[in-house]
Structures are given as structure tokens and as C-alpha cells.
Chains A and B, each alone.
Chain A
């Protein structure tokens, strides 16, 4: 029973491991980076507020909606706390964000008049009910005021941004100031102050913004609120506009440290341009914690060498929460640099498109590891367990697997946090896979156990790719190209360009007396059938394409007869027009590949023995070879995949094809067909047949030219190509020797190319 399950699991693995898309955990912009990551965001990420550390601050603008939502959520949470959690976030959101000014006016009327019930969309809203029952008239006045301010401070689509109505904005500021004075709640006063200062800032009256800030804030009792930071942002903006860049950057650094919802915008607004400003900024800071934030901001640049900045942060303020976020961010970068670099076959494209692996990754992992070791030794950080795990993981990434194993072993008992325990187990599993060097049947059973039973293998989506790539690498090194191919690719990926050593290796497995379960999964087609017949077909078909018909027949005849019958063709029809996809008549006799070869042999025999008619037989042979080539309608008799885009030169006639690691081989070679047409033409006593053979030979030459290195022809141009003399010998011959035949007259009507050459 266990083996049966194993069998199924392996089958499944054989399928899903071949899925091409691979993404790194939690990586936004690098969504298509083709590598692996085993760091789980749970080890630090409490919620989406920390996501810039995963996306990277500089790429975070892509997630504008997410940033906006964080602000909304934070704001609603504060409303909820201020109103003693009398209503749900959703209900508060309906009043604060969704309700119209008319809805709020109805609410105010209901508050002012006890007998007047709640009406409209807020009738059943618990927050509205709370405001009514507690007669929170000032709060509702504020909400109405905020609604009136909204059009002047809302982000508009820049295509249709209206002109600022500064007069209306000023009148709103004055109304706000009046209501600010009237309000008894300091919390509501704070909200008025925010609206008023924001209006002045958006009005671009920076002096007024600062004046209002200094006027209003001292009149409000101090308490902890996100609004303090929102207001601070507007003050910083006004200072920046007035040229007080260092002061502005200082405020942005405070916002970065304290206000997650504005962290990303604070990061963007923080701008220090020279050492003098930096030194001035450091002096402005009140303590080392504030100073450490400056280095954290600098470390958040995409181009930062964060280890250098982390050392400074650690020296100033070891408990900095930013320190562990930066550690994780840097480890994620190093994963891209180093994880599986020996066996990831996408390393080149990763370097080309994403700049990984970086050049000095070795030095960098060492410098970060040194810092981590120091931190672990001094034990001053908040989350020491994370640093201990990082110690082992950096050893792993640096390639010191032995040391990594020892470190993981040593700390196994010391890790108490669930998320970190899981993280440690994940790193250990990845390390185990990374250390695989060769396999025997027992190892293959262990692999199956991992796939079948290990929950981490299933949870972490990069494990299948990581494991398969490693398996493929090891199998290749130990001389199993078939297994190496199958663990990474579906069987169908072999067909566009079958590789002999892979076909032979897989055939060997198919013929083993007692293949292991793992091997059986690799060679299974469906039910109890293996891929043996398909492999033989591939081998025979390749021989056919090479013109080695005897060898092809030998191979194909060993396929069970029932399997022959699956695909049939007829390459023996005469097709004078260039139509690859034109259907053949239903009544046409069809042949299996074996029968095609037998018929070819029969025609060859007749051509030799029946001298009178040999020209006809050679013409038929020429047609068969032509029709089975890339240019003929029966191309699929000796190929599995053809792309119309490959009508061009390639030295090896192998073209890139995304679904096959070996590309797509096209059968461009027309030399055999041409030689048969030439034989036919030379032997033909009937000028009509000779003309036909000459014409088909001309087509062979023309197509050979199109796929030669000399050709610059682009079929999209829809023009008559200029063909060098060596590729139009038969057109010339046709023109000179056969212009009096009926065939010549017919073909000059039908074939525009030929007509063009004939006219010249």
C-alpha cells in the first residue's frame, strides 16, 4: 500500500515539478526571478505594514493601493480606539469614508433632534447610533468639515486634475479654525488641525502651513495618535519647500521610525545630498535611536550595502527593530545570489535580467555573516533566536555546509518561537537537499518520502523546484541524463529535438527487469503503459529525418504493431503549391511510419529495376522526401513540432523554443529530395515530367536559399526575393529547356515567384 501511494506521489511530483513558473516567497517586483527562497515572512512580518521591506522601498510605488489601504486601516483603528471600540471597523468605515455629506447631515439632524430617527444609509450603522446616543455633535461637525475638505486634498488622476480653488481652500481653513475653537474634544481638535494644516500645504502656502502648525498644536493636549505623524509630514513638506532640507529630513526620519502607514512616503521624501547635511542631521537627532534610524533609511535603498549600515545601527542601538528587518532583506538578496547557484539552470537569465548573482556576493556574505556572529555573541538584540538561525543560514549560503549543519544542530533546542522553529526546519531541509551528491535506490525512496510526507515541502513552494534542480544536477553528474531530464521536464519537452543520450538512458530504464518505484514514475505514460514505444518512435523518427531509413525501420519495427497505427501520413502526393497546412483528401490512403519506409524502399527498388519508368519513381521519391521536410505538408511524419517562424537560417537548424530545453529542430535539409528530382529530370523522356521534376528541384533550391545564411528575405515584406544564381539553376533550366511544355504554361500562371523569375 505504501508503495502504491509512493507511486502516485512520484507521478504527481513528476508533473508539478515540471511547472515552469517559479517565484520567490514574498518577492513582489522580482516575481519572475527564477531562483529559490526559503525565508518565510512570518519570522518578522507581523502584517502588511512591513511589506516594503520585502518588496523594497524603491519598488513599493507599484503597490500604491496597498499603501493607501494601510493608511485607511490605521485611521479606522484609531477612530475605533477613540470611541472605546463601540463599533466595528467596517461600521466606522461606512461613516468616515463611505457616507456622503448628505448622509452625515441627516446624522447631525438626528443628533440635534432626539425624536428624529437615523435615516438613509446609516440607519442601522452602529457607529452612527453610538454618535447619536452620545450626542457627539462636534464629531459629526468635524466629519462634515472633512467631507467638505476632501475634494481639495484628494489625489486626482493627473489627466483631469482640476485647478486648485485656493479661495475656497482658504475659506475652509477659516471655517476649520472656528470649529477647532468650538470643539471640546482634544482628539477632534487634533483632527481639525490636521485638516487645516493639510489644506494650507496643498494650497502651497508653506509659510501659512508652518504658522498654522505652530499656532494650533500647542492648543491641543498631547496624546499618542497617528495624526501627529501625518501632521508632521505636512510640516516637513513645508520646510522642504522653504529650503530647510535637513530639518525636513529629520522629521521624515521620525515618521519613518514611528508611523508605519507613512513609512514608505517618508522614505521617499527623505533626501540628504551631501556629507555636510548628513552630519548636520546626525547632530539634530535627540538620541542614538534616532540616529540609528538615519542609517536604516540609507540601508533601505536598493543599491545600499546594507551590512555596512547595519553595523552602524547595531553600534548605536542594538534593539533597533529595523535591524532584523534589514537582516532578512539582505538574506533574501543573498538567496538570489547564492542559493542553488551550481545547479539552477536559469542563472544566466537571472544575471541578464535581474543582476543576480552579484559580482562581489562572496565578500558580502562574509561581511554580513561576521556582523551576525558578533550580534549572536554579544546577545544584545531583541530577537536573538532569529540571528542564531541567520548565523547558520549564512554559513549555508556561503557554501560551508558542514558548519551550517553544526550550527543548526546546536541551536535546535534553543529556538522557542513557533515561526522560527519552522524556519529552522525549512533551512535544514534545504541544506539536506543541497548536500545530495549521488543516489541509489534507498535515496530515491527517501526523496519519495519527502515528497509524500514532509509538510514543509508542500508548504514552501520553492522546494519542488529546488529539489528537482538539485536532482537533475546530481543525476547528470552520475551519468543518468534521462533521469536528469525527467525530474525537470515533462516527457513532451524532449520531442521538439530528441537527444539521443536521453532517449537511450530512458529506454534503458524502460527495459530494466526491476525498475525502482522512482524510476517507474519517470517512465510511466498512463495506466500500465510506459513511454518505451514513444521513445522508440522518437529514435526511429530521428533516423528518418536524417535519411537513415534502414536504421529507422529497424527501430520502428520493434514498436508493438498497435502503437504503429496511432499516427498515419501520406507523403507521396504531388503538391506543386507551397501549402504546408492544406488538408489532404479524406479518401487518400494513409501510411504508418513503417509503411512509409517500406514504400520508399519499394520505390527505390522499382527505380532501379524498372528502367523505363525510373524517372517516375524518382519523382515520387523526391516528392516523399520533400513533403516530409519542413516545407512539405507531411512534415509531421518525421517531426513532432514545427514553427512557421523558423523559416530562417540557423547553423544547426535548432531554433529556440520555450517548451523545450533543447530548442526545436527543423528539417530544413532538402538535399535528398533535390537529388531525386534531379535524377528524375535527367532520366525523363517525357518533357512534361522533366519540367515537373525541374520545377520541384527549383522549389528545393528556393527553400534552401530562404534558410541559408545568405538570405535576408523577410516573408512579411511580400516582395519577390532576389535569389543568387546558385539557388536558381533550376528556374533557369525550366525557363530555357521546358518553356514549351504545358506544365510550364500552367505553372507560370499559378506560381507568381516563378513568373517573376521567368520574366527576368
Chain B
């Protein structure tokens, strides 16, 4: 009898472990949804069941909150993939909007998401709000989330919000948004406009200093990991622009680029580069995350997280970026959270 009970317990505990599900997903951040065959294959080979689709941004212009970069859909996602609309809201929008405007904004977002999803013929289980809120905007931002949650929960939809690392470490100070889930953005750990930074996308040493309070953080977390690369252009110490997708292999021409360091280059002549006209003397810092660092990041983070159902979201879906990561590596990464 004892053996039977032990066996049953073992069975139950195994069964419980099996029920925990870690699913790979992607952010889609472009303004046009027009996936090519490679991208669709990539999603299917990784058994991706969910894509977080940026529907639109909200920014403060001409004294009001306006929707920008509204998504247009050229081809739809495979039926097996569900969509989570993402709305990026600039912090200045929250800072500038008054109490009344926050209410209006929330209602407009609900309406716009419903309109767009109907137009795109997309059903969605969840809506996500991305905003790097600050102490000054916290109160209004949280109120916006409250109203959005009320609006979407009436339709049976969940609301999630992006969370930055420091907002977990200092959650008693920064507060915890009243949403159904949080998404920890495990990247942008350094200031991109700081010329002294080596890699602003992800510095594991810096990230480690923020890995506190995960055990008491009151929100269930999905995880967002970086699979993007870019070039950061400086004139002197002044940040000029980002060039998305730029890789150091594209700066091999020594007549045009003087290599200053592992990922630092200086232009020897004024020229066009990836659609931008840059000037002699401009400096470029190429930034990317290697497969090894990505795996290490996942391992580091997984240690802090309890075992639960979770989405591991790769930022972002673009064939020029994802070709740098094999299926096996991304599978290893998300399975680290199993």
C-alpha cells in the first residue's frame, strides 16, 4: 500500500511538472506584417504558437496623445498562431496627459485595438502595453492600466504590461502594475546613448546586479529576450542614430572604416550606410547578442524564476536577425525555463 501511495505521489508530481508549459513566441515590431516564407517556416519549426504584434504606438504630439505607426497587414499569420496586440506608449505621453486625458486615452486604445483586430480578422486572448514609465508618470500610468484592464476584461481578454529589470528589484518603490501578467524585458540594460558603454543591448554583469526580489515579485512573468542587432552612431560623444540590423561584418571595408576596437569603428570618409548618410569621423558601435550570451542570459534568469507556465518571447521577428540564431539555440534558450 505504501509503495502504491509513493508511486501515486510520484506520478502526480511528474504529472504536475508536465503541465507546466514554456512556449516560445516572438515580437513583431515592424509597421507592416508581411512575413516571408522563411519567417513562417522558422516560426513553425520552433512550434511558435503566439506572436506579440505591435499594433500601434502612442506619442504626445501637438498637445495630445496620437496613435502612430499603425500596423498594416499584407499577409496574415498561420491559423495555428495566436496574436497579442502590443501598444507602445511613450512615457512623455503619460507625463503630459492630464487625468481626464488618461481616461480618454484608455478608451481610445480599447476602441482602436478592437477596430484593428476586427479589420485584420484577428482574435486575441491578451493585450500588452509597453511603456517605460518613470516615478513621475507611475500614478497616471497605473490608472491607465486600471481602465484598460477593466475595458479588456469585459471582453474576456487579459492585460499584460512590460516590466524593466529595475522595476522588479525596486518594486516596493516603483510599484507593481495591476495587470494579469508582466513581461520582463531582459535587454537594454545600458544607456544606448552613452558612448562609454560597450553593449547596451545586454550586459550580463549589469543584469546580474538587478536580479533581486524575483521570489517576492507579485506578478507572473513572461520573459522577453533580445535577438536583435544594431549599430549605434555617434558624432564625438553625441548619439546620432541607430542603424537596425547593422553587423560588424558589414564594416569590413578598411578604406571606409577604421576599426577602433572589437565593435567600434570610425568612418574614414563621408558615405551612405544602410540608408543613412554618415560623415567622416562619425563612430559606430555595433551591438549584438551572441548565441552563447543568449543561452547564458536564459540560464541566469531561469534560476531566479519559479516554475510556472510562461511565454519566452524573442525580440524580434525579422529574417535578417533571426538567421543569426539557429533553431536549436532558440529551443535551448526557451527550454532553459522548463
Give residues in A with beta carbon < 8 Å to B.
Answer: 61-62, 64-65, 157-159, 271-275, 278, 298, 301-305, 308, 351, 355, 358-360, 714, 716-717
Contacts and interface: CB of A to CB of B under 8 A. Distances in A.
Contacts of B275: 271, 273-274
Contacts of A303: 233, 235, 240-241, 279
A719 to B, nearest CB: 9
A359 B238 contact: yes
Contact of A360 (B172, B272, B281): B281
Nearest to A351: B237
Contact of B61 (A61, A302, A308): A61
A302 B240 CA distance: 8
Nearest to A274: B272
Q: What interface size band does chain B fall in?
A: 20 to 34
23 contacts: A61-B61, A62-B61, A64-B61, A158-B67, A159-B66, A159-B111, A159-B112, A271-B275, A272-B272, A273-B274, A273-B276, A298-B277, A301-B277, A302-B240, A303-B241, A305-B279, A305-B280, A351-B237, A358-B235, A358-B237, A359-B238, A360-B235, A716-B173
A359 B237 contact: yes
Nearest to A303: B240
Given A273-B272, A273-B275, A355 B237 contact: yes
A305 B67 contact: no
Nearest to B279: A305
Contacts of A158: 66-68, 70
A278 B276 CA distance: 12
Contact of B272 (A157, A275, A301, A308): A275
A304 B62 contact: no
A265 to B, nearest CB: 15
Interface of B: 61-62, 66-68, 70, 108, 111-112, 172-173, 233, 235-241, 270-272, 274-277, 279-281
Contacts of B235: 303, 305, 358-360
Contacts of A159: 66-67, 108, 111-112
B278 to A, nearest CB: 8
Contacts of A64: 61-62
B61 A714 contact: no
A113 B152 CA distance: 59
Contacts of B280: 305, 308
A640 to B, nearest CB: 28
B239 A355 contact: yes
Contacts of A351: 237
B176 to A, nearest CB: 13
Given A274-B272, A355-B237, A355-B239, 7 more contacts: A65-B62, A157-B66, A273-B275, A274-B275, A303-B279, A351-B237, A358-B238
Contacts of A275: 271-272
B272 A278 contact: yes
A746 B141 CA distance: 44
Contacts of B173: 714, 716
A246 B279 CA distance: 22
**Those 10 A-B pairs whose CB atoms lie nearest each other, nearest first:** A359-B236, A273-B275, A355-B238, A303-B240, A305-B279, A158-B67, A159-B108, A274-B272, A358-B236, A64-B62
A417 B233 CA distance: 42
Contacts of B236: 358-360
A716 B235 CA distance: 43
Contacts of B66: 157-159
A302 B108 CA distance: 34
B297 to A, nearest CB: 28
Contacts of B172: 714, 717
Nearest to A305: B279
A118 to B, nearest CB: 36
A69 to B, nearest CB: 13
Nearest to B233: A303
Nearest to A278: B272
A273 B67 CA distance: 27
Contacts of A298: 277
Contacts of B270: 305, 308
Nearest to B234: A359
B285 to A, nearest CB: 15
Contacts of A360: 235-236, 281
A528 to B, nearest CB: 46
Contacts of A271: 275
A360 B235 CA distance: 8
Nearest to B240: A303
Nearest to A159: B108
A304 B277 CA distance: 8
Nearest to B193: A355
A62 B66 CA distance: 13
A359 B108 CA distance: 45
Nearest to B274: A273
Most buried by A among B62, B67, B277: B277
A718 to B, nearest CB: 10
A197 to B, nearest CB: 23
B108 to A, nearest CB: 5
